[in-house]
Amino acid sequence: MNPKVTAILVTLLVLGGSYVYFFELEAGPEATDNRAVSIHQREYGEYDVVGLEVVGPDSSAHFARAAEASSRDWQMLRPTAWPPDRIDQVRVNGSAYRLGRLTASQIITGVTDLAQYGLAPPDLTVTLTISNGQKITFLAGAQTPVNDSRYFQRAADNQTVYLVYGLAVDELQRLLDDPPLASAPLPPTTVTAVR
């Protein structure tokens, strides 16, 4: 075999092995590999979550289930009061439901420097209100270097950081950037037969 080809293959093998060792195997002494670990003590169902507040650096939104409506649809309380018929129920309910059942792919314990995870200050502060009156506050941080995850933390435990699926946090940010207004119904159309 050609010595140049051999040198190139050995270099690629060393680089690939180094990547696996440093980024996949050596996550640090604080990291524990726990697949699909729930962030909550129990999972919350669709109607267990009755309030959702998302606060970013420049904007915020507060949603609550309408108590008087039999469907228990979402309404927006802030920054603008919108009744349930003005709200895209699928988007708000999907965000609340995902948070109520949120799992982590990895947990990092013994954290002392929250800034390295984008949590000091956080990108978002999210508060869930549960039907029993309990409030759970989360902090969403930076995106991880690999695996499309985000750093996430329960505000009550500032030494534990979770890696959660990035889409869950992205959808929360989207509630601020693109308010979940229901689509206006299309005007009725008239079909005329052509002969």
Clarify whether residues 17 and 79 are in a common domain.
no
Clarify whether residues 141 and 53 are in a common domain.
yes
Domain extent, residue 25, equals 1-30
Residues 147/105, Cβ–Cβ less than 8 Å: yes
Backbone φ, ψ for residue 150 (5° rounding): -130, 150
Q: Is residue 193 part of a domain?
A: no
Clarify whether residues 64 and 15 are in a common domain.
no
* Alpha-carbon distance values, 144 to 32, 63, 163 (Å): 16, 28, 8
Clarify whether residues 126 and 54 are in a common domain.
yes
Clarify whether residues 84 and 60 are in a common domain.
yes
Q: What is the pLDDT of residue 16?
A: 58
Q: What is the pLDDT of residue 29?
A: 35
Render each residue's pLDDT in the chain as its tens digit; 195 residues.
Answer: 677 766 676 566 555 555 545 454 444 434 444 467 888 877 788 889 999 999 999 999 999 998 766 678 999 999 999 999 999 999 999 999 999 888 999 999 999 999 999 999 999 999 999 999 999 999 999 999 887 899 999 998 889 999 999 999 999 999 999 999 987 554 555 666 666
How many domains does the chain divide into?
A: 2
* Alpha-carbon distance values, 138 to 60, 79, 151, 169, 179 (Å): 14, 20, 11, 11, 21
Residues 32/150, Cβ–Cβ less than 8 Å: no
Residues 73/168, Cβ–Cβ less than 8 Å: no
Q: Is residue 117 part of a domain?
A: yes
State pTM to two decimals. Answer: 0.73
Q: What is the pLDDT of residue 47?
A: 87
